[in-house]
Amino acid sequence: MQLLITGGLGYIGSHTVVELLNNNHEVVIVDNLINSKITVLDRLQKITGKKPVFYQIDLLDKTKLDEVFVKHQYDGVIHFAGLKAVGESVQKPLAYYHNNLTGTLHLLQAMQKYSVKNLVFSSSACVYGLPASVPITENFSLHPENPYGQTKAMIEQILQDLAVSNKSFNIAILRYFNPIGAHTSGLIGEDPQGIPNNLAPFVAQVAVGRLAKLSIFGNDYETVDGTAIRDYIHVVDLAIGHIKALEKLNQNPGLVVYNLGTGKGISVLEMVKSFEKASGLTIPYVFAPRRPGDVPVNYAECSKAEKELNWKATKSIDDMCADIWRWQSQNPNGYPDK
């Protein structure tokens, strides 16, 4: 298939591009590089031996985006591009609503205009907010608790309405749990700008000495060791989930929604232990107060994706930490600037 990948140089997009190229799909990437580096393109070529077509374009630039639809014909689109930092979205809600909603509307308008009807959309477990119980199934109600999560829920609603209005659209909404890990080559991985907000990249940067110690937010939760529980999923498992979703869209299902996680909850301390095992290092940490807005326990029920997509996460937390360590130790300061 010939595919348009928005945000394809970002963390999840780049890992998905590797799987797509390795499965002989043709890929056109659009990314404005607001949260990624052009070096990723060289790394993709190193891993796959193929160089994807790349356009540095902002989805907010409707004219330029349209040109990418005129230049190539697509069998489908995977839409990763968006701003994703929860805390920043609270500080800059208008930037988040504008980028994520307007960017998506431009994309959907172009898809409609040029008759591209298959879409895979990156949603997030944060659309569920504080779940009434765990594991979380796809039919739980949506209660996003911050502007970032709101943009995901709003886009989901837009997609639902589009699918009702036009039956030829096939849309897979994928609700990711906590993607971590890196490609086993160590050539691509997660490279957040500034001090990481998320646990895995923070631990990795402590391990390479960029940060002094980890603060564990809360050790008084009602969990196995008092620390909060999340469903961490290896980014390569997640990437493969997108290929399975594309295959599903070829069966004309209309709009479908899937949780992509492992179904297994891991505590912060368990993650730290696994990372210590992978790196052979001791990760210094202190306990700190709970982070406002954090959910104590969050993990997915993934049987729908297993049944309907024939997809299941295969990699363990030890695999995830080993791959993060390989990426971070080979690239202690992340991607170089070109």
Return the active site residues: 148
Least distance to ligand NAD, CB of residue 166, Å: 23
Is the Cβ of residue 215 or residue 330 nearer to ligand UDP in the bound state?
Answer: 215
Torsion, CA 292, CA 36, CA 158, CA 156, rounded to 10: -50
Amino acid at 141: S
Could you tell me if 289 and 215 are in contact, meaning their C-beta atoms sit under 8 angstroms apart?
A: no
Of 118 and 178, the one with the shorter C-beta distance to ligand UDP is: 178
From 59, 74, 153, 155, select the one nearest 116 (Cα to Cα).
74
Chain residues in the site for ligand NAD (CB under 6 A): 7, 9-13, 30-36, 58-60, 80-84, 99, 103, 122, 124, 176, 179
User: For ligand UDP, which is the closer residue by CB, 72 or 210?
Assistant: 210
Binding partner of residue 146 among ligand UDP, ligand NAD, none, CB cut-off 5 to 8 Å per kind: none
Cβ count within 10 A of residue 182? 29
Q: Is 268 near ligand UDP (CB under 6 A)?
A: yes
Residue 271 CB, shortest distance to ligand UDP, in Å, is 8
Q: What tokens were used for 238?
A: 């997640």
Beta bridge partners of 175: 123, 259
**Enclosing H/E stretch for 236:** helix 235-249
- Residue found by looking up tokens 């609270």 in the block: 90
Residues contacting 215, CB < 8 A, separation 6+: 285, 286, 287, 288
Binding segment toward ligand UDP, per CB under 6 A, in 30-38, 110-118, 154-162, 197-205: 197-205
Smallest distance from ligand UDP to CB 86, Å: 6
Q: Does 269 bind ligand UDP (CB under 6 A)?
A: no
Binding mask 287-316 for ligand UDP (x = CB under 6 A): ----x--x----------------------
Q: Please, which of residues 135-194 interact with ligand UDP by CB under 6 A?
A: 178
**Cβ 214 to ligand UDP, closest distance in Å?**
6
The answer to whether residue 47 forms part of the interface with ligand UDP (CB under 6 A) is no
CB of 152 to ligand NAD, least distance (A): 7
Residue with smallest beta-carbon separation from ligand NAD: 10
Q: Which does 216 bind (CB under 5 to 8 A by kind): ligand UDP, ligand NAD, none?
A: ligand UDP
| CA 246/CA 262 separation, integer angstroms | 20
Specify whether the CB–CB gap between 90 and 147 falls below 8 A. yes
Q: Is 216 in the site for ligand UDP (CB under 6 A)?
A: yes
Torsion of CA 241, 109, 140, 233, to 10 degrees: 30
d(CA 78, CA 314): 22
DSSP assigned state of 100: I
> Residues interacting with ligand UDP, by CB under 6 A?
178, 197-199, 202, 214-217, 228, 230, 268, 291, 294
